Chains A and B, each alone.
Chain A
Amino acid sequence: MSPEPKPTADKHALPVPETAPGPTPAPVPGPGVERGDTLLLAENMTKQFGGLTAVNDVTFQVPAGGIVSIIGPNGAGKTTFFNMLTGLYKPTLGRVSFDGRNITGKRPDIVTKAGVARTFQNIKLFKTMTAMENVQVGMHVHLRARIAGSIFTTPFQRREERQSRERAKELLEFVGLRRPEALAAGLAYGDQRRLEIARALGAKPKLLLLDEPTAGMNPQESAELTALMETLRQEWGLSVLLIEHDMKVVMNVSDRITVLDYGEKIAEGKPEEVRTNERVIEAYLGSQA
């Protein structure tokens, strides 16, 4: 069974149904990573847009230090699910708790402050800002400068700005970008994706949500990204939640895979289990006549 949801005194929490849908996994510990507590727990997530149900009663969790993937055919509701987790959408039903705190329906900036950062399916960089400035915005939540400090440039503020620039450079180098002053709009597509990740890392997240990060990348770039994710998990202690279509990446890097189709969870488990699951194959290829 899924790990017991933490009991809560929050009067906005809706009761968890008796039966959890679908088989539930044990997180597979990767090399050098302890099996972690549940970092993110999403229960009975449902999203209705008028008459359309985009996500239907999905329960899901991410363990600390885990890399989890969500896959599914186009239109399965994966990005909608992400958007509910990060506060872009208010769930019609359901509850999200992160690191012990209830973040259901909270504003995106509050979710980021709690330790969740994300990238976007359609790259949403600040195109007219430089790479460095993009990462600095990512660091917004952790910089302490206030208005008066900004205007009168106290030593504290100056030092903080300097440190933020250095840290931004470090993050850019970490993802493989060497020109911090380059305009985001002028970067190659693959570099833009990397910049988005660097920007998200600027927020010092505990959980990184990546929405189709390898879209448009060649095999080498995808392999580099896979290595990056492993480094993040092992050296930084981050958890990663991934939406992906590139099955090679998914099979390589995931501890566990969840499959969505038409807004519902149809399978969940280790990569080998999911790959051979009939319902999954059916969802992607259509049923045999």
Chain B
Amino acid sequence: MEAAAVPKPRQDPVRRVLAAVWGNILWVGLLAWIVVYFIHNPTATLTDLKDGLSNGTIWALIALGYTLVYGIIELINFAHGEVFMIGSFITVALWLALGVTADSGFLAIAGAILGALVVASLGSASLNVMIERVAYRPLRNAPKLAPLITAIGMSFILQNVGSLWYDLPTSAPNLIDSQKVTFTVFDVGIKNSDIFAVAVTVPLLVALLWFVGATRYGKAMRASAQDPDAARLMGINVDRTIALTFFLGGLLAGSAGLIYALYNGTVNFRQGFTAGLIAFTAAVMGGIGNLKGAVVGGLLIGVVQAISDRHYGQQWTPAVVFAILILVMVFRPQGLFGEETREG
């Protein structure tokens, strides 16, 4: 029988167009929302954009942790927010212990910051690896319900650990004079904290992309994410690769903790819960499992928060973020850069 060319699916082209519009309505809507405010008040919106992008670096780093882990074991590391929080706590504890303040000399401050970067990120990294070992690995073959619940359990344990460590919000020494406006662009003041956030994040992102893209460990990660059985057959130690993934995620979260301590000024044991949800929203928005998406999502969420803070008030912003989370997960679970067929 002659194989006729299979005609293009003729099922309802109207429906396909509607589906395409519907799927993208969120981005279009968000963009339109930002543009409207920009037209309304350019300087304020530019300030919000700046704030959002620098604040968003924190969310981007945490979101990367979620996305790396989800990409490899399809699990939401619910305790990841707390890993970030512990990173902040380590930072502050270190600085308070060292006794560095805003008045310490330049070398002392630089050393303290670098030291905290190393210690906090390594600390968070190790914590993340420990969490995987204790709460997730034993449940590798259990239904997906089980590790999600242990993740929640772990999150609560860590929150309590935090509350025992610093039960009240604690100030971080203002080592870089965070609020000082160093220069101005288009009438928007760029603060030290903004510069710092970007200065720490960009090298980290570059390093991450290089690691995942160019080293054999990165290849092992990507292979394990795509097909763990095949990866094992190729001689990749998948267990160790998973641990490595958690290590990387924790590194990034710990660095985010450092940035947060200086950017926000105070740390508190509940910051992980809120940050976790915001960063997870970012990861899902960008496409869970997609690194580029996590970064874009983080920055975008930061901007949304800044604009919402200004125009709706800080008390409504969490509701706005959660609403976005729900909308994305229900109407476009694959996010911005995810694939169409699978559910996220």
Partners in one complex: yes
Bound complex: CA A5 to CA B3 (Å): 23
A63 to chain B, nearest CB (A): 24
Indicate if the CB atoms of B1 and A53 lie closer than 8 Å.
no
Chain B 297-335: CB-based contact to A (< 8 A → 1; otherwise 0) = 000000000000000000000000000000000000000
With both beta carbons as reference points, the residue of chain B lying nearest to A266 in the complex is identified as B1
Counted as pairs of residues, one from A and one from B, with CB atoms less than 8 Å apart, the total is 22
Chain A: minimal CB distance from B8 (Å) = 9
In the assembly, what is the distance between CA of A264 and CA of B4, in Å? 11
Q: Is B138 an interface residue (CB 8 A)?
A: no
Contact of B341 among A22, A50, A90 (CB under 8 A): A50
A129 at the interface (CB under 8 A from B): no
Taken residue by residue from 74 to 115, chain B's Cβ proximity to chain A (1 for < 8 Å, 0 otherwise) reads as 000000000000000000000000000000000000000000
In the complex the two chains form, is A93's CB within 8 Å of B341's CB?
A: no
Tell which of B1, B4, B11 touches A93, judged by Cβ atoms closer than 8 Å: B11
Query: Do the beta carbons of A92 and B1 come within 8 Å of each other?
Result: no
State the CA gap A93–B9 with chains docked (Å).
7
CA distance A136 to B3 in the complex (A): 46
- Give the interface residue-count category, chain B: under 10
Residue from the list A14, A21, A46, A50 in contact with B1, Cβ < 8 A: A21
Q: Which residues of chain B are near A154, meaning CB under 8 Å?
A: none
A21 to B2, CA, bound (A): 10
Chain A's interface size range is 10 to 19
A277 within 8 A of B: no
In the bound complex, do residue B9 and residue A57 qualify as a contact, i.e. CB atoms below 8 Å apart? no
Q: A54 CB to closest chain B CB, in angstroms?
A: 11
A72 to chain B, nearest CB (A): 15
Whether B6 lies near A53 (C-beta < 8 A) is yes
- Contacts A21-B1, A22-B1, A264-B1 given; indicate if A14 touches B10 (C-beta within 8 A): yes
A46 partner residues in chain B, CB cutoff 8 A: 6
| CB proximity to B under 8 Å, residues A31-73 | 46, 48, 50, 53, 56-57
Which residues on A sit within 8 Å (CB–CB) of B4? 57
Taken residue by residue from 6 to 20, chain B's Cβ proximity to chain A (1 for < 8 Å, 0 otherwise) reads as 110111000000000
Q: Which residues of A contact B10 (CB under 8 A)?
A: 14, 93
Which B residue sits closest to A53, measured CB to CB? B6
A-B contact pairs, 17 of them (CB 8 A): A14-B10, A21-B1, A22-B1, A48-B6, A48-B9, A50-B341, A53-B6, A56-B3, A90-B11, A92-B9, A92-B11, A93-B7, A93-B9, A93-B10, A264-B1, A264-B3, A266-B1
B contact residues around A53 at 8 Å (CB): 6
